[in-house]
Structure 1
Amino acid sequence: MLEFWYSDQCSRQIKLMVCIATCVMIYLCSTMQQLSPLFSGTSITIGMGLHGLRASGLKIAADNPYKKGFSILIVLIPLIALITLIAVLPTQHKIILAMQVIGFATIGLFILSTFPNRRFDKD
């Protein structure tokens, strides 16, 4: 999915719709149980870290023997971080809170992944 998100096939309109749907999902979940600011910030940081890991992975040459191992780490490190964060959530409404954690992590990814492609109109 990350490859599609970063590809040219994923237009700005698709990215905007996904961002809006994610925000709506987070809002609807927060009406039942709000996620604490600490968990929200940590989730956003995980998403931003995922983008940073991917950007670092693109800088490694294709013939480098560590390329494949690093591509595995790009998936494993954020996944382990999310699982750990979900494990320490309060037990009441854990599924709702886990959805918010995943949503905030994707928002963190969205923020950094769309920023380099911004076009500002100069008057």
Structure 2
Amino acid sequence: MSFLGNIVWFVLGGFISFLSWSIIGVLWCITIVGIPVGVQCFKFAKMSAAPFGKDIQYSDSGMSLLINIVWLFLGGLVMAVEEVIMGIIFCITIIGIPFGLQHFKHAKLALMPFGARIIRI
């Protein structure tokens, strides 16, 4: 069932999330200092291409908090707003609610991507 959900997800807007994470990852990788941030963005781009059957686990590390604050001002806020808007659009219809919930999950991830890891459920 998650395979079918991932296909429908990608066709109906998941590619926008995938593309956004990928573009921000490329922009971060332009600088040498930003390569670790860019690599993290590419991991989440892969997750946003096929989110069903995966979940996000957050850690409580203090170091990730500092990087998350920097990230918030240099790309995270824009990503979160994009995901919330797409989530609201999908939740307008009953059929789109599962897809909207995935966008809300990605919005939280866009606010706090560092210290987060993807796990299969």
TM range (shorter): 0.3 to 0.5
* TM-score normalised according to structure 1 size: 0.38
* TM-score normalised according to structure 2 size: 0.39
Which is strand-richer, 1 or 2? Answer: 2
Larger RCO (CA under 8 A, 6+ residues apart): 1
Q: Highest Rg: 1 or 2? A: 1
